[in-house]
Amino acid sequence: MIFELTILGANAAIPAHGRFPTSQVLCINHRYYMIDCGEGAQIQLFRHKIKINKIHAIFISHLHGDHYFGLMGLLNTMNLRGRTEPLYLHAPKGLQEIITLQLKYSHAVLNYSLHFIETNQEKSVFLFEDEKVTVHTIPLLHRIPCCGFLFREKAKDKNLIKEKIPIDLPIAGRIALKKGEDFEHNNQILKNEDYTHLPNKRRSYAFCSDTVYLPSSALIEIIKGVDLLYHEATFTHIHEKRAAQTFHSTGKQAALIAQEARVAKLILGHFSTRYYDLSPLLEEAKEVFPNAALAIEGETFSVEE
């Protein structure tokens, strides 16, 4: 089953050095979730062959423009491309007013419904679920209300030991065993533990957008042990004071968060325009947390079952 994160943009503030502002798409078992929608997001979707009308929900971390200025154009293009399925927008208070105003004064009518769900930036709360995944907010500390998002696969069925399953076992029996139940077949009780393996692990992804460095905090508990962590790394550590002043983090600080939370892999993003060459950010992170990578546009990060 697929669990893939594709980077569409990872720059801070403005497009620069061939990089777009923050935007990415998480694909879980062929269901697509967009996270932030900076300027140029739809261009990147087309470039990387992600079908825009397959996006089921969009999650906006905060209302600084580099995280949502691409949204209005994307919504309009979805309409022009014939979307009829509802779209769910999870964002801070204010986005609904912004989008409604733009639609009003452009005399635009969408042929699909928008559902706005306000996020909570003060504490981690349940936000969204479907048959594939649950999503909780991750409180962050930035200049304006901001939160990240924790995506976690739902509990999976157990795996059948196919060579042990009776040929004539009905579908109901297979389903029962996969659900962890015993099943009576031909006057015999098939013990679940004898016919199944443990389910594949529940994969997880934590998106930590703009935030000041938050060591030994509630953040660590929320993201502990995730398979994949995206954490902003706006500056190198020689600009630590500037990072604190602007409520951002450094590459080293992102790595320290990954280390403390014992995550499997770290992705650095939200790069300041002062850096044409991003290698110093990666180098300082790897000194602390070796399994780190840069959020390079078009790259896909996969988590195996």
Tokens 């600084």: give the residue: 64
Q: How far apart are CA 213 and CA 231, in angstroms?
A: 10
Active site residue 66: yes
Question: What is the four-CA torsion angle of 128, 131, 132, 133, rounded to 10 degrees?
Answer: 20
Give the closest residue to 297 by CA, choosing from 1, 80, 13, 25.
25
Q: What is the DSSP string of 29-54?
A: TTEEEEEEE-TTHHHHHHHTT--GGG
H runs (alpha helix) in 87-202: 95-105, 171-178, 192-195
Q: How far apart are CA 158 and CA 155, in angstroms?
A: 9
Q: How far apart are CA 67 and CA 51, in angstroms?
A: 20
Q: What is the DSSP string of 213-239?
A: --TTSHHHHHHTT-SEEEEE--B-GGG
Q: Which two three-digit tokens encode residue 10?
A: 């990872």
Query: How far apart are the two ends of the chain, measured CA to CA in Å?
Result: 7
Buried b vs exposed e over 167-185: b needs ≥16 C-beta within 10 Å? eebeeebbebbbeeeebeb
Q: Which of 36, 66, 210, 227 is catalytic?
A: 66
> Which residues carry out catalysis?
66
